[in-house]
Structure formats: C-alpha cells, structure tokens
Amino acid sequence: MSELSLSGYAIIGIAVLIASCLQASIGFGLGMLAAPVVVLVDPRLIPGTLIMLAAIVTLMVVLRERTAIDVTGTGWALVGRVPGTIAGALILTAIPERALAMLIAAVVLGGVALTSMGWVPAPRRRTLVLAGATSGMLGTATSIGGPPMALVWQRSSGPRLRGTMAGFFLIGSLMSLTMLTLTGAVDRHTVVACAVLIPATVGGYVLSRYANRLLNPRRQRWTAITASATGAVLLVVQQMGLI
C-alpha cells in the first residue's frame, strides 16, 4: 500500500494535536477524538500508531502530576488490564477494516452516551478490575480505552484524575503495544507515522497547560464529548458510503 500523503499527515496531525491536548487536560480523549479521523484517512494506523502516541503524552502527564496519582486504584485497574489486553489483541487479528471502523464508532458513541448521562460507578476494587479489563480490550483493539476508566474516576480532582488516568494508560499502552507487536499489528508504517506525529503530540501537551488555566473541567469534558461524537458520526456516515 502507498505511503500516507502530506495532506493526510496534516489532517491526522491536527486531530492528534487537539486530541493530545484533551488527553493531557482531562485524562482521556486522544483515542475518542483522533481515532475516527485516523480511520477515515489511513486505517492502517489503528490502533498501533495512536497507542504509541498515547504512551508519549501519558508519560509527560505522569511526570507532571506524579504526586497526585492514586497508586492503589491504578494497581487494581491494571490487574484487569492484562486479560483485557490479550482479548483485544485476539479480536484485532480476526476483524476486517470495515468492521473495525464500525466498532470504533460504536465504542466512541457508547462512551459518549455513558459519560453524558453522568453515571458514576463507585471506584471499588471489583469495579476497577472490571473497568481495567474493558479498557484493555477496547484500547488494544481500537485505541479507545478511556471511557471505562473515565467513568470510574470522573469525580476525582483535576490533577488526581489526569495523573491516575495517565499512570494507568502509560503501563496499559506498553502492554497493548507488546501484544500488538507479537500479533504483527505493529509494523514499519505505524512506527514511521508515530515518529512524524510526535511533534503534534508534544504540541498538544504544551497547549494543555494553557487549556487547564482557561477551561474548567466541565467545559473540557463537554468539548471532548462533542468532538468525539461528531467524529464517530462522520465515520459511520463514511462507512455507509454517504460521503
């Protein structure tokens, strides 16, 4: 298959810039916002490239918010992440591109619906393990693992939410990348694309430092929800051949 064009990189780069800003500001959003755009431009970059970029931005957030991380909660969530990651990698090997695109749209819209309704499950041990497993499966298969963990930790303070989510996703992303590499889902194209898009990721992180001062958590949350829903709807329309 041909390499991605300059215009293709530009479109994905803008999506990654904004999505990285959201990820660094509210603890999730990179996959939900960027994945629908990436699938439209180059589905080969899902999930490998986005997971690599997510690992980079979460590492920066972990370093920034390291004193606010809920270590115990992260640990229980990672217990669930292990079997979820394995399941996600197996699902990816058996699903065609069109089905993957529709699955991504369904995951995004489902996460948007649950987040919009304000459902708040208690962050108990069993809930954290279940959310971690669900996040691992969805994150590895589609690069969108944020909604389950955001639901559990959504009542946390800004620094605690960002730091805890980042700690979980940093380790989880490394797990997912290991499994994807073993199953052949990470190749030269996904790695090269990641390298090209790193400046957009770093730029999004830098922007988040200003966004954290200008936007309150509620506005940030609804910005992510609206943008994610729009991207998912466009993806469904495109897959149905309407655009």
pLDDT in tens, 74-107: 999 999 999 999 998 888 888 887 787 777 778 7
Cα(8)–Cα(158) distance, integer angstroms: 34
**What mean pLDDT is predicted for residues 33-40?**
86
Taking the model in full, what pTM does it have?
0.80
42 phi-psi bin (left φ>0, alpha ψ -120 to 50, beta other): beta
Which pLDDT score is estimated for 20?
Answer: 93
Cα(52)–Cα(69) distance, integer angstroms: 21
| Higher per-residue pLDDT: 68 or 85 | 85
| Higher per-residue pLDDT: 145 or 191 | 191
Which pLDDT score is estimated for 83?
Answer: 94
Which pLDDT score is estimated for 161?
Answer: 79
**Percent of the chain whose pLDDT exceeds 70:** 88
CA-nearest of 5, 132, 145 to 70 is: 132
Which pLDDT score is estimated for 1?
Answer: 44
Dihedral sign from CA coordinates of 235, 182, 187, 207: positive
Cα(76)–Cα(167) distance, integer angstroms: 12
Cα(209)–Cα(25) distance, integer angstroms: 8
| Higher per-residue pLDDT: 1 or 191 | 191
**What mean pLDDT is predicted for residues 27-36?**
82
Structure tokens at 193: 């694309």
| Higher per-residue pLDDT: 64 or 29 | 64
With vertex at residue 23, the alpha carbon angle to CA 20 and CA 27, rounded to the nearest 5 degrees, is 165
53 pLDDT tier (thresholds 50, 70, 90)? very high
pLDDT averaged over every residue in the chain: 84
Which pLDDT score is estimated for 241?
Answer: 62
Residue type for 95, please? I
Which pLDDT score is estimated for 227?
Answer: 64
> Is the model's pLDDT at 170 over the cut of 90?
yes
CA-nearest of 38, 47, 15 to 227 is: 15
Cα(206)–Cα(200) distance, integer angstroms: 10
